[in-house]
Amino acid sequence: MTISRDDGVYLTGQLLIAMPSMRDPRFTRTVIYMCAHTAEGAMGLVLNRLVGSVTFPDLLAQLGIEQTAESDQIRVHFGGPVETGRGFVLHTAEYNATGTMPVTGGVSLTASLDILKDIASGQGPRQSLLALGYAGWGAGQLDQEIHANGWLSVQADHRLIFDADLDNKWERAIAKIGIDFSKLSGEAGHA
């Protein structure tokens, strides 16, 4: 069953929040920024998980990119389980390069080496989040998961997207909806 979207409104630019009952360990207590959501499928980046084994300087060295600016504080996020060797940078919209895709609300997505070079030289976007991999859904799949009570959605804001407080991001996203997450049920139709 696909949720009807007669008004053409999808979740692009929204935050997807895993329900407490999420069984898939890759998505337990995750907050995902939805980069694209159409009738053909959906794509997003997990905002509150890191790739523990890769640092930004390590990544630059592997790609042969010289680091000239102080960028040790840049963390590499686990964007999702799809194409984990591919990098994506979610960033503020003042940065625009070849291949940059505006999303919405002053947020853009770039998946080229140029943005990594610009970040490494101190010429990148004002705020950014570097992720390896992404979360992806086929046509109607995300709608079915939402209907089965797997996800909640809430309006995104730059603080939740870009701030470094990953430990409390899930709770802060849930609180933005205005509900007590301890009272959420994993069963559809129950409160």
Cβ atoms 27, 124 nearer than 8 A: no
Closest CA to 151 of 34, 4, 6, 7: 34
- Say if 40 falls within a structural domain: yes
Which CATH number does the domain housing residue 80 bear? 3.40.1740.10
Q: Ramachandran region of residue 23, left (φ > 0), alpha (ψ -120 to 50) or beta?
A: alpha
Sign of CA dihedral 80, 132, 92, 8: negative
| pLDDT computed for residue 73 by the predictor | 76
- Say if 2 falls within a structural domain: no
In the chain, the number of structural domains is 1
**Model confidence at 151: pLDDT above 80:** yes
pLDDT, tens only, 170-189: 999 999 988 766 665 555 44
pLDDT, tens only, 90-137: 999 999 998 899 999 899 999 999 999 999 988 999 999 999 999 999
- Confidence grade of residue 1 (pLDDT, cut at 50, 70, 90): very low
| pLDDT computed for residue 181 by the predictor | 64
- Say if 42 falls within a structural domain: yes
Compute the distance between CA of residue 111 and CA of residue 185 in angstroms, rounded to an integer.
Answer: 37
| pLDDT computed for residue 178 by the predictor | 85
- Say if 8 falls within a structural domain: no
Compute the distance between CA of residue 26 and CA of residue 12 in angstroms, rounded to an integer.
Answer: 21
Cβ atoms 37, 11 nearer than 8 A: yes
- Say if 73 falls within a structural domain: yes
- Say if 96 falls within a structural domain: yes
Q: Which domain holds residue 139?
A: 14-183
- Say if 79 falls within a structural domain: yes
Beta-carbon contacts of 73 under 8 Å, excluding residues fewer than 6 positions away, are none
- Say if 170 falls within a structural domain: yes
pLDDT, tens only, 19-30: 998 889 999 999
**Model confidence at 2: pLDDT above 60:** no
pTM: 0.88
Compute the distance between CA of residue 92 and CA of residue 53 in angstroms, rounded to an integer.
Answer: 26
